[in-house]
Each structure stands twice: as structure tokens, then as C-alpha cells.
Amino acid sequence: MTATPHPSPEPCRICGGRLLTAFEGRLFGDTPVRYGLCEGCRSLLLPEPTWLERAYTTAFSPDPDSGELQRTLFVHRVLRRFRHHGLLPVRFRSLDFGCGKAALVRLLLDQGQDAWGQDAYPRAAYAEERVSAAWPAGLFDLITAIEVLEHTLDPVATLADLRGRLAPAGLLVVTTELFDERVHGPDWVYLAPEHGQHITLFSAAGLRRAAEQAGLAYALTLPWAGKAFVHVFTHPGHALPAWGRWRVRAGHRRRERLARKDAFA
């Protein structure tokens, strides 16, 4: 990839590194942008996103996030596996940060969990009574942030805030696709130029670095449809045992194969 400096003076919002020009793109079909590659953590960023108000106030129809339901069901399966392997207690208190329509909150409530949601713009059709823009008080055994971090201007501060609400032995489960400069270019679907909201695209190293800076310990990553997608963090004093991580990974592979078969039955 080119080593031309990025015209924006803004440093990497993950590690403070200098930005290089990665490639150009076009948001909403009419707004040219230049993606920045961090010289330090090799993440991909859109600095100075002056279009965010448009990105969040435009009503896109049809909704470009047509994968939301599949994704929620997938995350719910993953959480069941964590419980099965003892990474989560049988009964737990959870918070879905940036919960959107609150489908995951509803699935967990129906399972008997003490599930809550937080969203700056609540539109929680599935669980209105459990979601607000304010943070519910207390600590959580499980905090999920599903497709949230790639929207953030301050990912380290966001992660640190979540860490502060995580119970001592709790799990922070984040989903975001990872940027790999050897593979991804201007045609990467995850850039989502149609809505302009994906401004912080982590490399694997960038995500770990952000978590470390936020005082979290990286535990494991699980794939979805062949892509590294689910990333789990804990408090540093409560690292997951190696055998537990191995069992979760092996069980996840086997059970996702079964889930795929069911999808085509």
C-alpha cells in the first residue's frame, strides 16, 4: 500500500499514529473521501467525518443493514455456547450497548436473563421497557457491543466506559469486522459507503491495542462465515483459562457447521 501521508492532520483515533493515504472512496454516491491507514496499528480510518449528521439523520430505505436479524441470532447462539462452556453463569445480568431494535435484549429476556439495553437513539421495538438512552445502574456479567465500535470517534474511551460497567468476572463481547491491508481495498463491503457511518475500522492489532489502552484483556476471537467477527475481552485479572478458550473455539466451529446445515435443510 502507498506510503503517501494523509492530507488530514488528525492522528489515528486508536493509537495516535500518523495516517497514510490508503485509498479513495465515495460516500452516499456523492461525497468523496480519502481513507487513512494508520502507520502504527494498521487500522483504517476516515478522519474528520464532517458528514456524520447526514449519515445518522437520513432515513435509508430499504434499510442497508439487512443482515441484522441473522447477526442477532448468530450472537445469541455464541452467548449460549459461552454459557454452555462456563464462560457465563447460567443466569446473568446483561447490557447490550447500542442495542438498536433490541432483538438481542428480547431473546435474552425470553431466556430468563436480566437483560438491559442502552442506545443513544432508542428505537427498541422488541423490548422498550428494558432500553433507554441512560445507562442502567450497576455492573453486568455480560456487555455486548454489536456492530458499534466501527461507528465510534473515540473507541478507547468507549471501551473504557464499558469496562467500568463490567462485573469483575464479566465478559465484554464486541463484534466488528477486521481490516487487513493485504486483503481489503476500496471495494470492501464493510466500508458501507451507502450510509457513511463506518469511520473506525480496526486491524486485529488495532483492536487489541484499543482494548489494552482501555484497561481490558483480550480473550479470544470467533469467526462468522469465515471472517473474524466476535471479539471477547475481560478484566485483566480474570483472564479466561486456555482450556476454556480452546473448548469454545472448537465447539463454535462444530456447532456453526450444524447451524449452516439447518439453514439449508
Q: How many residues sit in the footprint of Zn ion (CB under 5 A)?
A: 7
Which region, judged by CB under 5 A, interacts with Zn ion, from 32-40, 110-118, 144-152, 222-230? 32-40
Is the separation of the CB atoms in 175 and 231 below 8 Å? yes
Is the separation of the CB atoms in 191 and 25 below 8 Å? yes
- Is 207 a binding residue for Zn ion by CB under 5 A? The answer is no
How many Cα atoms sit within 13 Å of 254 on the Cβ side? 7
**74 vs 202 by CB, closer to Zn ion:** 202
**15 vs 78 by CB, closer to Zn ion:** 15
- Is 149 a binding residue for Zn ion by CB under 5 A? The answer is no
**40 vs 122 by CB, closer to Zn ion:** 40
- Report, in Å, the least distance between residue 10 CB and Zn ion: 11
Decide: helix, strand or coil at residue 175: strand
Site pattern 38..67 for Zn ion (x: CB under 5 A): x-xx--------------------------
**16 vs 138 by CB, closer to Zn ion:** 16
Cell of 220: 479470544
What is the Cα–Cα distance from 76 to 259, expressed in whole angstroms? 12
CB count in 10 Å sphere of residue 200: 24
Is the separation of the CB atoms in 21 and 2 below 8 Å? yes
Site pattern 2..31 for Zn ion (x: CB under 5 A): ----------x-xx-x--------------
> What single letter denotes the amino acid at residue 84?
H
- Is 36 a binding residue for Zn ion by CB under 5 A? The answer is no
- Is 78 a binding residue for Zn ion by CB under 5 A? The answer is no
Cell of 175: 463484534
What is the Cα–Cα distance from 90 to 84, expressed in whole angstroms? 8
**16 vs 185 by CB, closer to Zn ion:** 16
Beta strand 44-45 pairing with 93-97: unpaired
Judged by the rule CB under 5 A, the positions of this chain that interact with Zn ion are: 12, 14-15, 17, 38, 40-41
